[in-house]
Amino acid sequence: MTSTDSSSGTRSRLPQVRRTPPPAGAPSLPPAARSGTDFVVDCAVYVDGRRLAPVPHDEALRLAVEQDGFVWLGLHEPTEAELAGIAAVYGLHPLAVEDAVEAHQRPKLDSYDDSLFMVLKTARYVEHGALTATSEVVNTGEVMVFLGSHYVITVRHGDHGGLKDLRNSLEGQTDLLRLGPAAVLYAVSDLVVDHFVEVAEAVEDDVEELETSVFSTDRTDDTPRIYQLKRELMQLRRAVQPLEIPLSTLAERPNDLVPDAMRSYFRDVQDHALRVRDQVAGLDELLSNILQAALARISVSQNDDMRRISSYAGLIAAPTLIAGIYGMNFEHMPELSWRFGYPLALLLMAGLCYLLYRGFKRSGWL
């Protein structure tokens, strides 16, 4: 087995072997896997770019092979037993089946003897009235795609990223569907990346709101909100950044499962993904700068408070000094027995306080 995994950063050559069609008597699903079909979202056979009449999903592959078409089988969060039944019919590799059941995979592209397995992270922007220190901003899910010469199986995890509208749209593009299962893989990848663009633009609005708040005249503590948005943005970054290698492989490496005519389509998706990656990286850097500005603003605000406190402490210290001297109760002190000594001391205190206040005011401490 050769694979392309974004975590390793290496690209291995995809095999040039075409899948051998299974015999007409391909095995049916085991009874345990056919006890319920709620996990099957949709199943259709496409021949010459057109959808045929509905058929049971355990008979679809045989029909597709007989008519030289392909099956698009859509699944939603199948259990291990349910996916094992599908794997028995379509000959899916056990390692790919294990990844599809467990989910929580990084975006990657694995190549097996006669099939491809691709993992994509989906993303959705979570609407919120006001960004707080606990707001959920980015919600992620997963879509796995099994690709063979006569089938494409999409396995979706999460409560978003539905492919119903995509299927309806593709069924109106007969010329694209004529290119085979790779056309579905392209359409799914393109849809996922388009959602990344939408999420990145929405997050950019949150970043601009934080930037405005940090540099406003109001005294606000935006540090927790900035940190939370950076955490949420990290989820989007983990979904976008690893896609570069899988999309590059599909766009540049010849493969029997991906017709040459499809490589330009994947190149277009790769270009969009790279632009989103750069946009997300720029937003993350901007948030780091905003965080530094917020911390600097807090520091300046604290310095202003300390100067103001020091100024008032100086105003209090002047009369305290005079009162302390005359409160020492010595017998021989200047003006101690003078009738106007007390008023003079009060005037002296007031005069010193006034001079200090004018000085602090002029220097901007008050």
pLDDT at 230: 92
Domain end marker among 254, 281, 297: 297
The count of domains in the chain is 2
Question: Which helix (H) or strand (E) segment is 19 a member of?
Answer: none
CB count in 10 Å sphere of residue 333: 12
Q: Which of 273, 297, 321 is the last residue of a domain?
A: 297
Residues 167, 307: one domain? no
Q: Looking at the structure, tell me whether residues 105 and 207 fall in a common domain.
A: yes
State the pLDDT at residue 72. 95
Torsion on CA atoms 243, 165, 49, 182, rounded to nearest 10: 10
278 and 330 in a common domain: no
Residues 86 and 219 in one domain: yes
Residue-wise DSSP of 303-362? HHHHHHHHHHHHHHHHHHHHHHHHTS--SS-TTSS-TTHHHHHHHHHHHHHHHHHHHHHH
**How much is the pLDDT for 337?**
65
Digit-coded pLDDT (tens) for 310-354: 777 777 776 776 677 666 665 556 666 666 666 767 777 787 777
Asked whether residue 290 falls in the same domain as residue 321, the answer is no
CATH code for position 290: 3.30.460.20
- Is the same domain home to 215 and 326? no
- CB atoms closer than 10 angstroms to residue 40: 17
* Same domain (yes/no): 312, 220: no
Residues 247 and 353 in one domain: no
pLDDT in the model for residue 327: 66
Based on the domain organization, do 307 and 169 belong to the same domain? no
End position of a domain, from candidates 297, 319, 347: 297
Do 259 and 323 fall within a single domain?
no
Residues of the chain with pLDDT under 70: 1-37, 161, 300, 302, 304-305, 318, 321-322, 325-342, 344, 360, 365-366
Q: Specify the pLDDT at position 130.
A: 86
Residue 340 structural domain: 302-363
Residues 263 and 311 occupy one common structural domain: no
Q: Note the pLDDT of residue 311.
A: 74
Q: Could you tell me if 293 and 339 lie in one domain?
A: no
